[in-house]
Amino acid sequence: MIMIRFQNIKILNKIFNREFNFKIIWPIVLPVISLCIFGLVLLRSTSFDSIGSSTNYITFYNQLQWMGVGLAVFIFMQFIRLKILNEYAYHLYIFLIISLIITYFMPERGGSSRWIEIGPFSFQPSEFGKIILVCALAKFLSDRKDNKDQFITIILSLIIGLIPALLVFGQPDLGTALIYLAVIFPMLYWIGLRPFYLFLFIAPVVSMISSYSIETFSFWMLILILVLFYSQPTIFQATIVFIINTCSGLLAIAVYDNLYPHQQDRLLTLLDPMRDRFGSGYQVFQSIISIGSGGISGKGFNQGTQSHLQYLPEKSTDFIIAVAGEEFGLIGISFILLMFGIFTYWVTEYLNKFNNDFSSLSLVGLFTILYVHLIVNMGMTVGLFPVTGLPAPFLSYGGTFFITCALILSIINNNITNNI
C-alpha cells in the first residue's frame, strides 16, 4: 500500500507542476475573450425564429455552459507540466488511432460515426485528436531536427498525419481530415525544410483540383513553371515534377469522365457553389446574400432577415460569420479579423523568443489549427471554399470544439509562460 501511494505521488509530481506560477498572457487571452463575447451576442441573435420574436435559448445557454467548462480546462492546464506532452506524445497518438477506429463501431448520427458514447456522455475524438497529432509531430520533428535527410522526414511526417486523416475522412469528416494534413506543412517549414520540397508534395493536389477547367489548369501550370525556374532544380528533377503534375491533372479528368452524372454534378458544385443556387449551392448562396445585405454597419442586432426568416442554414455553427456580416456588417467582420490579428501578432512575438524545439513546434501546430479553421470557415461563407463543416474558433456553437479551442489556448498560454 505504501509503495502504491509512493508511486502515485511520483506520477503526480511528474504530471503536475509543483512550482505553480499561474500567469495569464493577456495580449493573447484578451482578444479571445472578446471573440467569445461577440460569439455569444451572435448566438443570442440566432435564438430568434423571426425578427423580434423570441424562441428558446438552448444554444445560447449551452454555449455559456461550455465556456464555463473551457475556463476550467484553461485553469487546470496551467498546473500541468508540458513536458508530459512531449514524453507521452506517441502514447497519445496510439490512443487517438484506437479511438478513431472505435468510432466506426458506434451508432451513426446524421449519417456519420464521429462520436464515442459512454453512458449519457459522448465526445468527438477527432477534435481532441488535432492537438494529439500536433504533439506527436512536434516530438518527431524535434527529435529529427538535425537529420540531413529532409525527404525521409517529409515522408514520415506525412504518414503520421495521413493515418488519422484517412480514419477521420472515412467517418466521413472531410473538414477535420484536411486540418490533420494542414498542420504538417507549417511545422515542417518551421524546422527549416526547404519550401520547394513542401511545394512538391502539395502541387499534384492542386493540379488535380485545377484540372476541372482548361483555363485554370493552364494558369496553374504556368505558376508551376515559374516556381521551378525560381527554385533552380536540376533539369531531371524539374522534368519529373512537371510530368507528375501533368499526369495528376489528366488522371483527375479521366476519373471525372467515368463518374455518374449526379456525381459529376456534386463535384462541379463543390468547385462552383453558384452553379446550383437552389440545390447543393443553396447554403453558400444564402450566406453571400446575408453578408452582402449587411453593408458597412449591418442591419443591427437581431435584425437579420436571412438568419431569422430561416433562409440561412446552420446559422449558429458553420455560417456564424454570415450572421455577423448581416447584422454588424463590414465593421463586425473587421472586428473579428482585428481580434485574430492581435492574437497572431503576439503569438508570433512570443514564438520568436522560444529556444525549445518541441514547444515552438507545438505552438506552430496549434496556431495552424485555429487559423485553418478561421480561413476555411470565412472562405466557405463567401464561396471561396467548399462547405466542409469547419466552425469558426471561439465564435461558433459547439461543445467539443469549444473545449478543444480552450485547450489549445491553455497550452499556448502555458507554453509561453514556461519559455520566456
Please check whether residue 284 is in contact with residue 381, taking contact to mean a CB–CB distance below 8 angstroms.
yes
**% of the chain with per-residue pLDDT over 90:** 26
- Tens of pLDDT, residue by residue over 350-386, are 998 888 888 899 999 999 999 999 998 898 888 777 7
Contact indicator for 406, 327 with CB cutoff of 8 Å = no
Q: Closest Cα partner for 359 from 134, 46, 62, 68?
A: 134
What 3-state class would DSSP assign to 280? coil
3-state SS, residue 326: helix
Reported as a single tens digit per residue, the pLDDT across 256-315 is 777 667 556 666 766 676 667 777 677 777 888 888 888 898 888 878 777 777 777 778
pLDDT given at position 381? 87
Q: Which residues contact 24 (CB under 8 A, 6 or more apart)?
A: 413
Cell numbers given for 344: 497572431
Asked if 123 and 396 count as a contact pair (C-beta separation under 8 A), the reply is no
* pLDDT tens figures, 13-32: 555 554 556 788 899 999 99
Q: State the chain's mean pLDDT as an integer.
A: 82
How many alpha carbons fall within 13 Å on the CB side of residue 197?
A: 18
Burial 81-91 (b: 16+ CB within 10 A, else e): bbeebbebbee
CA 310 to chain centre: 27
Region of residue 25 (left: phi > 0; alpha: psi -120 to 50; beta: else) = beta
DSSP label at residue 53: B
Angle at 75 between CA 72 and CA 65, to 5 degrees: 20
d(CA 405, CA 318): 16
pLDDT at residue number 31: 95
**Better-predicted residue by pLDDT, 203 or 10:** 203
Distance CA(99)–CA(125), nearest Å, equals 6
Comparing 8 with 39, the larger pLDDT belongs to 39
- Which range has the worst mean pLDDT, 225-234, 319-328, 336-345? 225-234
Which 8-state DSSP code applies to residue 106?
S
Distance CA 220, CA 241 (A): 13
Helices (H), 170-281: 174-182, 184-190, 195-210, 214-231, 235-257, 261-271
Distance CA 238, CA 321 (A): 42
220-238 burial: b if 16+ Cβ within 10 Å, else e: bbeebeebbeebeeeeeeb
Q: CA 416, CA 420: separation in Å to the nearest integer? A: 6
Cell of 389: 463543416
Report pLDDT for 1: 43
| CA distances (Å), origin 81, targets 21, 87, 94, 359 | 11, 11, 21, 12
| Per-residue pLDDT band at 194 (split at 50, 70, 90) | confident
SS3 state of residue 16: strand
| CA-based torsion, 380, 381, 383, 386: positive or negative | positive
Per-residue pLDDT of 125-163, as tens digits, reads 888 899 999 999 999 999 887 765 677 888 888 889 989
Q: Among 9-23, 154-168, 226-240, which stretch is predicted with the lowest mean pLDDT?
A: 9-23
**Angle 44-46-47 from CA coordinates, rounded to 5°:** 65
Q: How far apart are CA 169 and CA 218, in angstroms?
A: 30
Closest to 179 (Cα-Cα) out of 194, 162, 193? 162
Q: Give mean pLDDT, residues 62-82.
A: 88
Higher pLDDT, 398 or 338: 338
Which residue in 343, 391, 372, 378 sits closest to 31, CA to CA?
Answer: 343
